[in-house]
Structure 1
Amino acid sequence: MKPFIQVRAAASPDAKAVGTLPTTRGESQAPNVDYYSVTFDVTEARDGWLKIRNASDDMSGGDHNKPRPVYQGEGWIAAADAQVGIQSARGYARPDAGSERLLDLGHDWLTERATLQGIVACDGEWLLLDYEMHSSATFERLEPKDRTRGRAWFRGVCSSAETTCDMRSVDK
């Protein structure tokens, strides 16, 4: 993981950098401080890039630390740099709960049983995600020959990969 994520003016690695977002990786020098991932709104997904705005580090603020400075304007980040929590067990063929269900993990949420490999697209409250499943018993990575990779549309998006959002279930 990188110590920061570049925010670019356009959806290209060659576009001008307009700001940065801190990650939890660069904070190891402060072991008594809990840093969380920066949150932001995603307004568009295109060709492996996410258009974001309204970044915030408010979850990291507390008695012992202050929120870190973040770029709050509009810009683009590589989709592979973004992580979210998915509080849903069901993945669909299209961003519609009436479409074919491609994955059903019962009572487990996707991010309890899989590693997100990337955000491919967004449509309202839905994200198209690439994922790789963990072992259901140990939550550890499976041997390469046993790994199940998939792509499906999910809702129940929680902007924090570290905690739950305590939202009502979207799976009912």
Structure 2
Amino acid sequence: MTRSLAAILLLAIGAMSDSAQAGSNTCTIGGWSIVTEAGGVPVRAGPSPEAPIVGRLPPAVAYEGGLYSGRGPEFAIVEAEGGWFRIDAVYVPTVKDDDVEDVPLAVTGWIPGRAIYFQLQTAKGFSRPDPASEVVYRFGELTHPRDWLAVTDCRGKWAEIAYGTPQEERRMWVRGICAAQETSCDGVKGDR
């Protein structure tokens, strides 16, 4: 009886750690796409290039306002798996008469990290999603994604970014993510 109870307890602890790990890839950040190819970004049913396409993010459009010279679909990033990100609450900023109107897009699914962009309101990149871990990168405020290779993972308010060159890729974890394309985000702070 004692061995059975111990075995059940070990199974329960294992299941809890598995669910804690699965939950560790939930994210509470947002972003946008500035992919300009005619077909836009395929949104897939699962985190794989072989998963069925359930919708598309339209291509970004040229617009001379704000911090960037274009506007792309914006979304909440809610989960990460293997370099893929599940997005929700998608809307498309549409330029009308020199103003931008946000039009909801009814699609939820997975896109690759190379299609995701956001601003960083932080000065440090870390080796892990922990401000006590090693600082592996330092940069100025309101950092933009122009030199990124891809977003590769996320946990809560943290995102992992690949940077450098494909031959010499490096990675860092950052927080202080701002998903606003035209301005900075009040109250969003990373690490100084």
Q: TM-score range, shorter-chain basis?
A: 0.7 to 0.9
Normalised to the residue count of structure 1, the TM-score between the two structures is 0.72
Equivalences for residues 2-151 of structure 1 within 5 A: 2-3=37-38, 4-24=40-60, 27=61, 36-58=71-93, 60-64=94-98, 67=101, 71-105=105-139, 107-111=140-144, 115-132=147-164, 149-151=169-171
Is residue 121–residue 176 contact of structure 2 (8 Å, CA) maintained in 1? yes
The amino acid across from 2:113 in the alignment is A
Residue equivalent to 1:158: 178
C-alpha spacing 1:100/1:79, structure 2 compared with 1 (3 Å)? same
The alpha carbon displacement at 1:62 in A equals 4.9
- The alignment covers a number of residue pairs equal to 153
Distance 2:109 2:79 in 1: 10
The amino acid across from 1:5 in the alignment is V
CA RMSD of aligned residues (A): 3.2
Distance 1:61 1:153 in 2: 33
Would you tell me which structure has more strand in proportion to its own residues?
2
Residue equivalent to 1:137: none
Secondary structure of the structure 2 residue equivalent to 1:83? coil
Is residue 90–residue 103 contact of structure 1 (8 Å, CA) maintained in 2? yes
Deviations 1:53-73 (A, max 9, x none): 001124x45544664766433
Normalised to the residue count of structure 2, the TM-score between the two structures is 0.65
The alpha carbon displacement at 1:132 in A equals 2.8
Deviates further, 156-165 or 1-10: 156-165
Residue equivalent to 2:189: 169
The alpha carbon displacement at 1:166 in A equals 3.8
Deviations 1:86-138 (A, max 9, x none): 12120001111111111122x444427x61111111011000100139xxxxx
Is residue 22–residue 68 contact of structure 1 (8 Å, CA) maintained in 2? no
The alpha carbon displacement at 1:81 in A equals 1.1
Distance 1:86 1:99 in 2: 19
Identity %: 28
Is residue 83–residue 161 contact of structure 1 (8 Å, CA) maintained in 2? no
Distance 1:95 1:55 in 2: 26
Secondary structure of the structure 1 residue equivalent to 2:114? helix
Secondary structure of the structure 2 residue equivalent to 1:57? strand
Unpaired segments ≥5 residues, structure 1: 134-143
Would you tell me which structure has more helix in proportion to its own residues?
2
Rg: which structure is higher? 2
Runs of 4+ in 1 over 6 A off after TM superposition: none
Secondary structure of the structure 2 residue equivalent to 1:41? strand
